[in-house]
Amino acid sequence: MNNAEDIEKLVEKSYLNKLQVPADAGMDGRILDDAVTIMEESRKTKLAKPNSWRIIMNSRVTKISAAAVAVVGLMVAVSILDKTATPAYAVEQTIDAIKEVKTVHMAGEFYHQGQFECWLRFDGDPDVPTHLWLSLPRIHLAVVCSPDGLFHYNKRTNYVFRISQDQRGRTWIIKFGSFFKDAGEAADKRGSVTISHEDKSIAVRIHGPKREQAFLVDTETKLPISFSTIRDDAPMEMIRRQQLTVRNIDWIRYNQESPDGIFDIPGDAKFVQNRFDCWVDPDCGLAADGMTRQEACQAIVKELRRALVDLDIETLCKLDLTFLEFAPEMWEQLRQMKEAGKRVDEFVATDDPYEQDGLWYVPCELRGNDGRTEVRTPMIKFYEMEGRTLCIIVGSKEGGVAD
C-alpha cells in the first residue's frame, strides 16, 4: 500500500466511516501520531510538496478533527460542505458546479475606490474571465475588459479611454475554479482557516495577523455567495495602495443573463487622450458661462477655498476630480482633524492663471491654522457639455488624477 492509500484509509477508518461517538482528544492524538509517523516515513523516501490545508474545523460542521483535516486536505475540506456526501461525490459535485458557471454578477466595496458592481463572463476557465465590466459609481466610469480591448468608459458622456491594465487576471477577482485551494494557501501564508455553519451557508474564515475575512459558501452549489472583512487592524494600508483591493462583496449571483452590449464600446463613442476626461460629467465642475478663462480659474479656486475650510465633501468632489479618489476613511480622518482644531485656514492664489498645452494653472498656497503652508498648483480644464461651459480641476503639478 502506498503512502496516499495509508493516509486515506487511516482517516476514513477513524473519521469518515460514520462514527457512532464523537472524536475526542485521545482519539485525535492517536490519529495525529499515526499520521505523523506515515508522513515522516514518506518524507524520508522522497521529497513532497508542503500541505497547504492546515484547516481548523468547527465541531458544528463535522466530527472531523483538526488533525485529520491537516492530513486529508482538500478532499475533506470540500466534503464537509455536504455531510451526507462521500468525499469523492462532494468533490465531483463542486467541480461540476464550477464548470457550469458562465457569468458572475456581484456587488461590493473596494478599500480605495468605494462601491462597485461587476459582471464577469467565462468560457471554460473558471479562474480567468474572458470579459469583465466593472462599474465605479463614485468615479463616474466603467472598466471594460474583453478580447476586443481594455477601456474606461463613461456612459453619460460617451467618452472612452484606452487603458493598459487588464483587470481580468487581477488578484481581486475570486478564482472560482481554485477557491478552496487558494483558501488553504492563504492559511499557510497568513494564519489559519476555520469552516463553520452559519444559517443556511458555510462560512470559510481566513484568519491573518492584521485582518480576518470570511466567505459564505452556498451549501447546495458549493460556490461562494458573499465575502466580508470581519476584522481589519490597518485599513489605511490597503487604501494607500490605490489598486483594486476588495473589502466586502455584498452578494454574488451566477449564470444570470448579462445586459446586452455591456462588454461592448459603442461605435460612436468619443476616444479621449487623458483618463481624467472619462471622469467628467455635466454635474462636475463650476459653470463658467460668460466668464473669461482667467476669471473662471480665479472663481473655482475661490470656491475650492471655501469648501476646504468648511470641509464640504460634496463641493470638493464636484470641483476637483482628485477628491473622488478619497476613500471614506480618508474623509473620516479629515473630519477628526477638523474637530481636533487642525484644519485648512486659507487656500489662496499667489499668481495669475496661465495656460500651457491645453490646461490652465493657478499657483496657490495652502495654509493650515497651525501655521504650516504648502504650495499647490491646480490643473484646470474646460469642457463643453450639454450646452454649458464647465471649469474643472483635474489634478495638480504635485500629483493627482492627471499625472
Distance, in Å, from the CA atom of 108 to the CA atom of 318, rounded to the nearest integer, reads 24
Residue carrying C-alpha cell 488624477:
401
Boundary-marking domain end, from 243, 262, 292: 243
393 near 319, Cβ under 8 Å? Answer: yes
Going by C-alpha positions, the residue among 142, 145, 111, 171 that lies closest to residue 329 is 111
Q: What residue ranges in 155-279 does DSSP mark as E strands?
A: 159-162, 192-198, 201-207, 211-218, 224-232, 246-254, 270-271
Q: What's the number of domains the chain is made of?
A: 2
**Range with lowest mean pLDDT among 33-42, 81-90, 125-134, 146-155:** 81-90
Same domain, 204 and 345: no
pLDDT band for position 136 (50/70/90)? confident
Residue with more model confidence, 340 or 76: 340
Q: Which pLDDT belongs to residue 68?
A: 31
Residues 183 and 82 in one domain: yes
Average pLDDT score over the chain: 74
Is residue 218 domain-resident?
Answer: yes
Residue 112 pLDDT > 80: no
Specify which residues 134 forms β-bridges with: 118, 143
**pLDDT in the model for residue 188:** 54
Same domain, 289 and 378: yes
306 lies in the same domain as 378 = yes
Q: Say how far apart CA 187 and CA 90 lie, in whole Å.
A: 22
Establish if 131 belongs to a structural domain.
Answer: no
Residues 377 and 310 reside in one and the same domain? yes
Rounded CA-CA distance 2/197 in Å is 35
Range of the domain at 28: 3-99+176-243
Q: Which three cell numbers stand for residue 63?
A: 466530527
For residue 87, is it within any domain? Answer: yes
Lowest mean pLDDT among 29-43, 162-176, 200-214, 266-280: 29-43
Asked whether residue 253 is domain-assigned, the answer is: no
CB 158 within 8 A of CB 268: yes
In a domain, 289, yes or no: yes
pLDDT at 144 over 80: yes
Task: For residue 279, give the DSSP letter.
Answer: G
pLDDT score of 239: 62
pTM of the model: 0.67
User: In this predicted structure, what is the pLDDT of residue 52?
Assistant: 33
Q: Is residue 263 in some structural domain?
A: no
Domain shared by 239 and 348, yes or no = no
CA angle, 6 then 10 then 12, to 5°: 120
Give yes or no: residues 212 and 291 share one domain: no
Claim to verify: residue 81 and residue 180 sit in the same structural domain? yes
Residue 117 lies in a domain: no
Distance (Å) of CA 226 to CA 89, 128, 215, 322, 329: 24, 19, 6, 31, 23
Q: 320: which strand partners?
A: 393
> Shortest CA distance to 382 belongs to which of 271, 316, 300?
300
Residues 223 and 290 reside in one and the same domain: no
197 and 93 in one domain? Answer: yes
Question: Once rounded to an integer, what is the mean pLDDT over residues 157-177?
Answer: 83
CATH value at residue 303: 3.10.450
Q: Is residue 139 part of a domain?
A: no
Q: Quick one: 303 and 385 in the same domain? A: yes
Nearest to 196 by CA among 323, 73, 309, 83: 83
